[in-house]
Every structure is written in structure tokens, then in C-alpha cells.
Amino acid sequence: MQSGRDIGVLIGSGDRATLAAVLDQFPVVAAERSPQPEAAISEVQELVLRRLAALGDPKGVEALSMSQEARRAQAWDRVFSESLARGEASTDAWSAVHSAAPGDFDPEFVASLYKQVSHLDSIGG
């Protein structure tokens, strides 16, 4: 990382030892160089997990699956929370769903969700 190599290239071609070093050292680098270190660290961790899974590392496969499920749940939580609070979810919330779980983004389901939220609003309001 100190050599100036692109972190994505380093991860994409890295072996297990390189990936372990990235996970160990990147938080320090991100804290020093990134305006949003937590987001940068999260993104790098996701890239490392994807690479470990691609290398066939069983723990990497399991961790990637758990990470993807957590992202999916967080994205849907945001959609539901915004829908209940404002009557509809933001474009950013729907983008998070599409990014975390593209197969979940069904326009018919979205329309149905809004109908249900509207119905609940009419009952409660």
C-alpha cells in the first residue's frame, strides 16, 4: 500500500498473505488519507472477502455470504423505515437494495409495498 499501487489491483491479484496484510494495514491508511475512513474500510473489506471467496477460501465464502446478507437486511430496513416515516423511500435507499440484492428489486413488489404503506397510513391517520 505504501508503494502507491492501486488498492483494487493489489486486492484483485493478492494471495491470502497479501489480503491479510491489506486488512491489517488499510484501516491506518484510510484514517490518514480518506475523508470517510469507515466507508473506505468497509469497501476494502468487501473486496477482500470477494477475493478470498474467489480463491476458494471457505471462511472467505462464509464471511462474504454473511456480509451480503447483512447489507441486504440493512438496505431493506432503510426502505421500510423511510417508507413508514415519509410515505416513500428515497432513491438512495432503493439504490442500496439494488446494490445489495439486485434480485430483490422488483418493480411490482415496490408498487405493492407503496400500496400497503398508503393503506396503513389511511388506517392510522
DSSP 64-79: HHHHHHHHHHHHHHHH
Give all strands (DSSP E) within 44-99, no chain letters. none
Domain residues for the domain of 120 are 71-125
Q: What is the mean pLDDT of the chain?
A: 86
10 vs 122, residue with greater confidence = 10
What mean pLDDT do residues 79-101 have? 88
What's the distance, Cα to Cα, between the start and end of the chain in Å?
56
pLDDT value of residue 92 = 92
What mean pLDDT do residues 1-29 have? 86
Give the three cell numbers for residue 50: 470477494
Say whether pTM exceeds 0.75: no
Distance CA 42, CA 38 (A): 6
- Domain match, 75 and 26 both: no
Please tell me the total count of domains within the chain.
2
- Domain match, 89 and 116 both: yes
Q: Is residue 16 part of a domain?
A: yes
